[in-house]
Amino acid sequence: MSGTRRRTADVLVPERPAGRFSDAWRRCVGAGRFDLALRSDYRDSLALVQQEIGFQYIRQHGLLSDGAGIYQPYTRGGSPGLAYTFTYVDQIVDAYLALGVRPFIELGFTPAALGSGPQTVFWWQGNVTPPASPAEWAALVRTTITHLIDRYGLDEVRTWPIEVWNEPDLDVFWPAGDQDDYHRLYELTACTVKEIDASLQVGGPALSPGADAEWLKRFSAFIEDRAVPIDFVSRHAYTSGPSQPVPFGTYQTLMPAATLLDQFAAPRQELAGTALAGLPVHITEFSSSYRPDNPIHDTAFHAAYLAPVVVAAGDLVDSFSYWTFSDVFEEAGVPASMFHGGFGLLTHRQIKKPTFHLYSFISRLGRDVLARGDSFVVTRDPAGHIAILAWAPVDHTGRSFVDGHRVRLSVPVGPGSSAFIARSSVGEEAGNARAAWAAMGRPASPRPRQVDALREAAEPVRTYRSVPVAGGRVELDLVLGRHEVTLVEVSPVVDETPPWSDDARLFGRAG
């Protein structure tokens, strides 16, 4: 692996905004399967995420699967019966709303007793076959949505998007990836939802990144021909190649991060001129790898890799949901910390990692964009505070890296003689719990002192200084280390020092 140095051209940041910074990045986050939210460590992790970032929606698999326990067939006196139970659902949704996040509902998968076959997906065995009884499926959907309305109110549930299934173009999620079968399921489900209330939001088809370009066009033609209701279109985006499995984990090659932006743009391009053109587009899953056991997620590289995507993607779609916020995931089995970190499991509490910090930094950006470059964005909030996000360019192959990347900016701050600079950084040497864990010898069960050290290592490095203002501007020369992401906040200084304050006399002698 080799390192190189790069320097950006000096940038004179204009005083007037060049555009608005979209909050599409904050709209939704992914979270594994629905019933994981019954775990206290999972909810503690989400509370931390909400405290520092504040996502608006959360999306998960398995609302209708057996783990959530809604569909409960029984036999009494030799006769079959059916009960619907919402004990777990109510606990989870109550907890979400208390944390300020709403469900982005995914309707799936099929309860095992209702499935038309035995095919399942993931370690937790979600049944992915079409329902054996369309009428019972419709009743399940109707009862579930009606219950949510009864408990949380129609006005509230109208704000919750309802997505039909997950990646039906893949045979792992839908037998043979049969599109006609999915069309029938979508029509039945969407019409059932709209029969409850016409203002409820329903959409799909939550396609995988590998879906052919004609899939959405055929879906659009079906919607138009049958006059099936739809309020939004959804798709997923990943850049990882085939899995290279090892015990307790997997490695994968990656495509350039810009490939994600190409995938984000694809739905509107493919639907241009169709009946679905102009609908909101939600990327309901995105990341580098879809594999929970790929260690790339916990690296400093990952934050710098995704930074330009998160900054730019709001220009392309209405929302894009990072998959997932927590190491409590379990699609590939119970995570083995000896391989991929799984820091939330190691410590029974979410340890922050570089990608978490990337989102936390972005949450501090202003809405007015003053300037944007290949490796930075400069924003301003209504109070006039400047926030800059900058990142070191990365090599998606991992064969080289950029060290000492420079971003030189002349930033307008208004009148005054000085400005306060607060800088927070994560990278290979800062805010990197995985690097500290590796230095410890990758302990599978860290001892209390090791846990404390990991928590300290996970914090960004923060520095503070004062810089002079000349002509209403400050000059910033930011040097970024390997895979570094940095947030720089600039505030004009109002000097309130009393006239008798004299630091030269701290030790009692006259200056």
Residues marked as catalytic: 167, 285
Q: Which amino acid is at 260?
A: L
- Burial degree of 494 (CB within 10 A; 0-12, 13-18, 19+): exposed
Token pair in block for residue 250: 């997997």
Which stretches of 47-158 are assigned E, i.e. beta strand?
57-61, 71-76, 79-84, 102-107, 120-121, 126-127
Whole-angstrom Cα distance, residue 390 to residue 459?
Answer: 18
Close Cβ partners of 409 (under 8 Å, ≥ 6 residues apart): 10, 11, 13, 371, 376, 378, 388, 475, 476, 478
Helix-strand-coil split of the chain, %, nearest 5: 35, 25, 40
Q: Strand, coil or helix: what is 307?
A: helix
Give the 3-state secondary structure of 412-430. ECCCCCEEEEEEEEECCCC
- Burial degree of 453 (CB within 10 A; 0-12, 13-18, 19+): middle
Q: What are phi and psi of 510, to 5 degrees?
A: -65, 145
Instruction: Tell me the C-alpha to C-alpha distance, in Å, between residue 167 and each of 135, 182, 214.
Output: 23, 10, 15
Q: How many other C-beta atoms are found inside a 10 Å radius of the C-beta of residue 337?
A: 21
Close Cβ partners of 511 (under 8 Å, ≥ 6 residues apart): 502, 504, 505
Q: Which amino acid is at 120?
A: T
Whole-angstrom Cα distance, residue 114 to residue 123?
Answer: 20
Close Cβ partners of 427 (under 8 Å, ≥ 6 residues apart): 300, 304, 354, 392, 480, 481, 482, 483, 484, 485
According to DSSP, residue 137 is labeled H
- C-beta of residue 68 within 8 angstroms of C-beta of residue 89: yes
Pairing of strands 28-33, 19-20: unpaired
∠174-177-183 over CA atoms, to 5°? 85
